[in-house]
Structure 1
Amino acid sequence: MDKYPFLQKAGSLFNDRHVTRIGDVTEAWAGQPLKGPALIGAPLSKSSISHSGACFAPGAIRKALGGISAYSAELREHVIDHLYDAGDIQIHVTDIVKSHEHIYQTIHGILADQPDWVPVILGGDNSISYSTIKAIAETKGTAAVFQFDAHHDVRNTEDGGPTNGTPFRRLLDDNIISGQNLIQLGIREFSNSLAYEEYVKDRQAEVHTMEMIREKGLLRTIQDALPAVQKRADSIFISVDMDVLDQAHAPGCPAIGPGGLYTEELLQAVRFLAQEADISGIEIVEVDPTLDFRDMTSRAAAHVILHALKGFKQSR
């Protein structure tokens, strides 16, 4: 109100006329043409096999992202000038299968109408990956996935149904993606089982453990894998389970553990992929704001998105 010049909206951040934050360039999507990256939330956590508040992650990541400057000192320009946010996909109160179907139908439907959209998906637990990648594969052609994760996520479905530990088992069993087009990065010691290791290897998935990455380097590993994958697939999807990071870097994940990636390694890798490959989308999963410390994990997730946007900017 003009009568009260010092009264501002509750929760407003300090305003500096020389700083443009991501929140300043973000606008709710209302059906306008989508070209390039735009946000969408998939706040599902009922399918987690352990305690999870991942349903709160889309809001926490948006809050962290909105307050960060859009300016890249390395590029000497903003990473994005305008960012649409499509909002959150409705999750069924009790039915996990229906929730997965809601996610699939929504992303598939928007991509069918907006083929130039590059979804930036804010999960949610890792179970959403079945729905997101299925939608990508059915609208974008043969899909390859670079999966940053401490776990294979190929648990059987007989012991608990479609959980956050089963998405890549379901994707492979349903022939939505081929094993050769699944690149697993950051598989951590004492976090998996022999049966599931044998399963992904039988399916010819490319598995890179943390020990292998420490010996070779994450970026070099991706650089070596990418050319062959690009020949086999029409596009590449980036799936980031934040528990791929060492617990010191991402305390707000349900399955934290030592010996994971460093944040800078993950940021560099995501930026490289977004710059060098035909990216069909990116998802961030397994952030639990109820377990986080000073929003460290949500902030790290926000920076993963920023570095993806940086890569997109550099590729164009």
Structure 2
Amino acid sequence: MSFQYLNPGPARAFKDRFTTKVDETKQWYEEGKSGKIGLLGLPYSKSSISASQASEAPQSIRRALGFYTTYSHEKEQDYTDVTMLDFGDAPAHPTDTEKTNDLLKKSVKEMLEEEACSRYVLLGGDHGVSFPSITAFHERWGRVGVLQWDAHHDVRNTEDGGRTNGTPFRSLLESGVVRGEDLVQIGIRDYSNAQAYAEYCARHGVAVYTMADVDAEGIASIVKKEIQRLKEKVDLIYLSVDMDVVDQAYAPGCPAIGPGGLTSRELLVSVQEASGDPIVKAMDIVEIDPSKDVRDMTSRLAAHVMMRYMYQ
């Protein structure tokens, strides 16, 4: 039987013939397909030191892409031709963090080995997923420079709890995947870190920009300066966006919310500044817990972060 009005299946959505939503440019990956952006979910948050359902964020951010169009009025350009290939979600072990890290790394490497895309977006998950993801890019392409937007250093010791969402950059530094001089931390917030970890970053030569530095220098200037410095030394640059870098007023759906962070506009402007250089090949977005969000504010902001990265 064919229906004239009924449509069993997906929920109906209004369609304006002149409007393309961002999620309409997304296709599931199949062998032989190519596109500009490779998308992979890393839905793991059991390593979080605070209660978190960040494993639900990849699907929440994907849904949020459906709220926005591909047209930039400021640039007077429509990005309907920017295709995303969605590689789905990487698997995770139900109890073993080390096994999960191995699964996540192998999943990222499998995506890269397809050579189907020129840039990649990884959707966490808590910040612990950055360790296996960045490791995969290092093993595939070589020396990695990292710009890390974060309220926290994420270089906690591993003796007090193993690898957690507070340890990814300590793990990267101590495993030799990332050199201290190739790591830039932006938005580090007062009263959110221990003195020992500030000193650890200083010993390893990490470039640390606090919120006071952001106020004094301007975040776009900081990003531009550090991209220019890193590109002289590294093979690729990876952007790691921990959404708790944003003030709690703009990103309430983070497990570690706090006042005094970036505005949503500062985050978007700085990601756009960083993404303009072709040496920037990858970005992860982490630390969104949809169960703590308000009207999907944080997932919607993450969708805009993706768009600033993709539409160059």
Q: What's the CA shift for 1:26?
A: 1.1
1:36 aligns with: 36
Tell whether 2:235 aligns with 1:234: yes
SS in 1 for 2:298: helix
Per mean C-alpha deviation after superposition, the further-off stretch among 178-187 and 93-102 is: 93-102
Q: What's the CA shift for 1:186?
A: 0.2
SS in 1 for 2:208: strand
Tell whether 2:268 aligns with 1:270: no
What is the alpha-carbon root mean square deviation over aligned residues?
A: 1.5
Q: Structure 1, residues 126-184: CA drift from partner, whole Å, max 9, x if none?
A: 00010010011111221000000000000011100010000000000011010110000
Q: What's the CA shift for 1:115?
A: 6.9
Per mean C-alpha deviation after superposition, the further-off stretch among 193-202 and 71-80 is: 71-80
| Aligned AA (1:45) | S
1:290 aligns with: 291
Per mean C-alpha deviation after superposition, the further-off stretch among 255-264 and 1-10 is: 1-10
Whole-angstrom CA distance in 1 between matches of 2:225 and 2:118:
28
Q: What's the CA shift for 1:72?
A: 1.4
Q: What's the CA shift for 1:19?
A: 0.7
Tell whether 2:122 aligns with 1:121: yes
- Pairs aligned (count): 311
| Aligned AA (1:227) | Q
1:11 aligns with: 11
SS in 2 for 1:127: helix
What TM-score does the superposition give when structure 2 sets the normalisation length?
Answer: 0.96
Q: What's the CA shift for 1:68?
A: 1.5
Whole-angstrom CA distance in 1 between matches of 2:131 and 2:34:
23
Give % identity.
41
Whole-angstrom CA distance in 1 between matches of 2:275 and 2:309:
6
C-alpha change, 1:13 and 1:185, in structure 2 (3 Å) is same
Q: What's the CA shift for 1:267?
A: 0.7
**Structure 2 unaligned runs (5+)?**
none
1:249 aligns with: 250
The within-5 A match list for 1:293-308 is: 293-308=294-309
Q: What's the CA shift for 1:304?
A: 0.1
Partners of 1:79 and 1:306 within 8 A in 2: no
SS in 1 for 2:127: coil
Q: What's the CA shift for 1:33?
A: 4.0
| Aligned AA (1:61) | I
Q: What's the CA shift for 1:276?
A: 2.4
C-alpha change, 1:287 and 1:276, in structure 2 (3 Å) is same
| Aligned AA (1:248) | A
1:110 aligns with: 111
| Aligned AA (1:121) | L
Whole-angstrom CA distance in 1 between matches of 2:259 and 2:63:
27
Q: Structure 1, residues 86-116: CA drift from partner, whole Å, max 9, x if none?
A: 1000111111111111110111122133174
Whole-angstrom CA distance in 1 between matches of 2:213 and 2:231:
22
1:314 aligns with: none
2:132 aligns with: 131
The within-5 A match list for 1:176-215 is: 176-215=177-216
SS in 2 for 1:119: strand
1:77 aligns with: 77
Whole-angstrom CA distance in 2 between matches of 1:133 and 1:62:
22
Whole-angstrom CA distance in 2 between matches of 1:234 and 1:116:
17
Partners of 1:140 and 1:280 within 8 A in 2: no
Q: What's the CA shift for 1:249?
A: 0.4
Partners of 2:45 and 2:55 within 8 A in 1: yes
2:145 aligns with: 144
1:27 aligns with: 27
Q: Structure 1, residues 215-252: CA drift from partner, whole Å, max 9, x if none?
A: 11100111222222111111100000000000000000
Partners of 1:187 and 1:209 within 8 A in 2: yes
Whole-angstrom CA distance in 2 between matches of 1:273 and 1:234:
15
Per mean C-alpha deviation after superposition, the further-off stretch among 147-156 and 59-68 is: 59-68
2:169 aligns with: 168
Q: What's the CA shift for 1:76?
A: 2.4
What TM-score does the superposition give when structure 1 sets the normalisation length?
Answer: 0.95
Whole-angstrom CA distance in 2 between matches of 1:227 and 1:89:
33
**Structure 1 unaligned runs (5+)?**
312-316
Q: What's the CA shift for 1:8?
A: 6.0
Whole-angstrom CA distance in 2 between matches of 1:150 and 1:79:
32
SS in 2 for 1:290: helix
2:65 aligns with: 65
1:89 aligns with: 90
Partners of 1:34 and 1:117 within 8 A in 2: no
| Aligned AA (2:160) | D
C-alpha change, 1:4 and 1:35, in structure 2 (3 Å) is closer
